[in-house]
A and B are shown apart, each in its own frame.
Chain A
Amino acid sequence: MSRVVRHARHVVGENPVTGVAGGVFLALLVLAAVGPRVAPYDPLLTNTRHKLEAPSPAHWFGTDQVGRDLLSRVLVATRLDLGIALSAVALSFAAGALAGACAGFYGGWVDRIVTRVMDTIMAFPLFVLAMGIVAALGNTLANIVVATAVINLPFYARMARAEVNVRREAGFVDAARLTGNAPARVLAVHVFPNCLPPMMVQASLNLGWAILNAAGLSFIGLGVRPPTPEWGIMVAEGAAFIVSGEWWIALFPGLALMLAVFCFNLLGDGLRDLMDPRRRT
């Protein structure tokens, strides 16, 4: 364990950006947990006497067209945005790992079906497919999560399949088989845990993309309904005011979104360096 810690410290020392990204990630998690408590105002409270005010000491991020405090809304939205992205990635990870691992381990018709299904998903422009899925299943928050999970599925399934495939004939797998383990047990206990590290890296790289997708869907008016605070929909609300110069309504939720995605991408790169020094760029 101490070797891992030392290695981690070495990687962070080499690339302090990863450390910073890790810090920002922790800060985001804390905000997601305590956001509603530290917000100075009620994020839904309208106050038409103070509408469209530029950032000031009373309202650090300014107020929107009905006088809601933007700082409070951006803070409170953290939980929802991270929640959507994390649950979509978790769903995708679980389903993709299961399908991919079975395809790689059993081969034959299981493999053919899984590969064909993943190829079909990849045959669509992914954001467009997500729109179609939301249209078909209904315009709800849960379906945004499902749609985001489905379009990420092929990345996990393909990766799990490839990772299981290279280990299927390894010596320790033969040994596990020969000592009388059932195939499903060999896969679950002996093969799959070895595939987890590269898949975790993929997940962290994927997280930023998942947030962008979910925010994109809510930007075009799917899933999250106003007045719920969510970064994508807040940018959409601010879009109407940008041509008349009220920049703060769209800017701050957009910056929050950018910060989160930037942090996940850097963290993913850092994790990859940690796991696999050969793939450093």
Chain B
Amino acid sequence: MLRLIGRRLALAVPGIVGVVVVSFLLNRALPGDPAAFFAGPAATREAVEEIRVKLGLDRSLPEQFALYVRDLLRGDLGTSLTTGQPVSRDLLARLPASLELTLAGLLLAVGVAVPLGVLAATRPGAWLDHLTRVVTTAGVSLPVFFTGLLLVYVFYYLLGWAPAPLGRLDAVSAPPPTVTGFLLVDAALAGDPETFRAALAHLVLPAVTLGLFAMAPIARMTRAAMLGVLGSDFVRTARASGLAPRTVLVTYALRNALLPVVTLLGMIFSFLLGANVLVEKVFAWPGVGSYALEALIASDYAPVQGFVLVMASLYVLLNLFIDVVYGLVDPRVRIEG
């Protein structure tokens, strides 16, 4: 098992190197002259030159790349012009909000889509199957920002069940002391049911928006995989041996059908990280996505590049994690590894 993890880690290295190279290139492809940009419109030619030397822009590309990697290793992603803070600190402060939202959406999607896919596969052609197909096709066709707005209209404006789409908590309620940055966890740790409920109420709509978006491919894949497995010889044998239908379905079929679903989760997570940006904008969620957006609109590029790099690193790490989980779920991978 340890050898598998080690080998998989080694395989992730080219991915990380590629990510760093691309984000360096995106940095260098900035429109205009960064030195002139940093110096401001009133700067003299000498001042611009000085900044150029300070930023290392007068050196060759390989040298600049070495400097960039050195800064990255120190955790230095540059400074945001709009907040005046180091980008790495800004991102770290806002990352928990985004992660809480993404994970809630993912859990919701898996929790609904997997049972739905299984039920649809056990009754092909029944109304539930058709319903699943309609829901999944509609799900991939819905622009995630549009679903969010519809939910806001129905549940905030019409029904008044949800709080206003303005962040993680009301302006009046104080956030719990920060431990993990996940408001739900922090509120629970602080033993503050009031804040917990408020945080949950604010989380529900954005999480459902993300969940609806992620549900479709998961349900589709679960259904297809279950159909394949249920038609296979070993399920027939298990049934013929007189095992309870439940045992056959859950222990034998579902465990095998989940393998492609686990693989798909990596892809889903990639989509979710992107969709997160849109959902954060709709719900004024103070996460990394809305941070990058504000910077992007203000032509403040360091936060955007930092954001792209952090999201890509997260995604590479997640894929690594999924591969390890895969080894746990499927012993065959371990033997081959």
* Cβ-defined contact, A128 with B307, below 8 A: yes
B153: interface (CB < 8 Å): yes
- Do B19 and A120 touch across chains, with their CB atoms under 8 A apart? yes
Taken together as a complex, chains A and B put the C-alpha atoms of A109 and B156 apart, in Å, by 57
- Stretch of A40-48, A97-105, A159-167, A253-261 lying at the B interface: A253-261
Contact at A281–B281, with CB atoms within 8 Å?
no
- Cβ-neighbour of A243 out of B15, B25, B157 (below 8 A): B157
For residue A133, give the distance in angstroms from its CB to the closest CB of chain B: 7
Q: Is the CB of A135 within 8 A of B305?
A: yes
User: Using Cβ atoms and an 8 Å threshold, which residues of chain A touch B25?
Assistant: 136
Which residues of B313-337 are within 8 A (CB) of A? Answer: 315-316
**CA distance in complex: A261, B205 (Å):** 23
CB of B88, distance to nearest CB on chain A (Å): 17
Verify A132–B308 contact, CB threshold 8 A: yes
Taking the complex as formed, is B31 at the interface, i.e. its CB lies under 8 A from any CB of chain A? yes
State the Cβ distance, B161 to closest chain A Cβ, in Å. 14
Question: What string of 1s and 0s marks CB contacts (under 8 Å) between A259-281 and chain B?
Answer: 00110011001000000000001
Q: Is the CB of B145 within 8 A of A119?
A: no
Verify B281–A120 contact, CB threshold 8 A.
Answer: no
Q: How far is the CA of A123 from the CA of B312 in the complex (A)?
A: 6
Interface presence of B200 (CB below 8 A)? no
Interface of B is mostly: helix
Smallest distance from the beta carbon of A78 to chain B beta carbons, Å? 16
The interface stretch among A66-74, A82-90, A182-190, A211-219 is A211-219
Indicate if the CB atoms of A126 and B270 lie closer than 8 Å.
Answer: yes
Q: B282 an interface residue at 8 Å Cβ cutoff?
A: yes
Q: In whole angstroms, what is the CA distance A137 to B25 when docked? A: 11
Give every chain B residue within 8 A of A212 (Cβ-Cβ): 143
Q: Is A208 an interface residue (CB 8 A)?
A: yes
Interface size on A, as a range, is: 35 or more
- Chain B residues near A262 (CB-CB < 8 A): 137-138, 141
The digit string for A130-145, where 1 denotes a CB below 8 A from any CB of B, is 1111111111000000
Option from A121, A127, A208 in Cβ contact (under 8 Å) with B274 = A127
> In the complex, A212→B145 CA distance in Å?
10
- Closest-CB distance, B290 to chain A (whole angstroms): 9
Say whether A193 faces chain B, with CB atoms less than 8 Å apart.
Answer: no
A221 CA / B271 CA spacing, docked (Å): 19
In this assembly, does B243 line the interface, its C-beta being within 8 Å of a C-beta of chain A?
no
Chain A: minimal CB distance from B143 (Å): 5
Say how far B312's CB is from chain A's closest CB, in angstroms: 5
Which residues of chain B are near A121, meaning CB under 8 Å? 22
Per the bound structure, the CA–CA distance linking A5 and B166 in Å amounts to 55
Contacts of B140 in A (CB 8 A): 208, 261, 265
Give the complex CA separation of A57 and B270 in angstroms. Answer: 44
- A254 and B143: CB pair below 8 A? yes
B17 (CB) vs chain A CBs: closest residue:
A120
29 contacts between A and B (CB under 8 A): A120-B15, A120-B19, A120-B21, A120-B22, A124-B19, A124-B22, A124-B312, A125-B270, A125-B271, A126-B270, A126-B274, A128-B273, A128-B277, A128-B308, A129-B22, A129-B312, A136-B27, A136-B29, A136-B31, A136-B301, A208-B140, A216-B145, A216-B274, A219-B145, A236-B145, A239-B282, A254-B150, A261-B142, A265-B140
Question: Please, which residues of chain A bring their CB within 8 A of the CB of B305?
Answer: 132, 135-136
Does B164 count as interface, using CB distance less than 8 angstroms? yes
Q: Which residues of A contact B150 (CB under 8 A)?
A: 251, 254
B51 to chain A, nearest CB (A): 20
Chain A residue nearest to B290 in the complex (CB)? A220
The contact string, 1 if C-beta is below 8 Å from chain A, for chain B 115-148, is: 0000000000000000000000110111111100
A276 to B143, CA, bound (A): 29
**Chain B residues whose CB sits within 8 angstroms of the CB of A247 once the complex forms:** 153, 157
Whether A261 contacts B141 in the complex (CB less than 8 A), given A131-B277, A133-B26, A219-B278, comes out as yes
- Nearest CB of chain B from residue A198's CB, rounded to whole Å: 18
Q: Is the CB of B153 within 8 A of A242?
A: yes
Contact indicator B296/A235 (Cβ below 8 Å):
no
Q: Is A238 an interface residue (CB 8 A)?
A: yes
Q: Which residues of B contact A215 (CB under 8 A)?
A: 143
A135/B141 in contact, CB under 8 A: no
Q: Decide yes or no whether A245 CB sits under 8 A from chain B.
A: yes
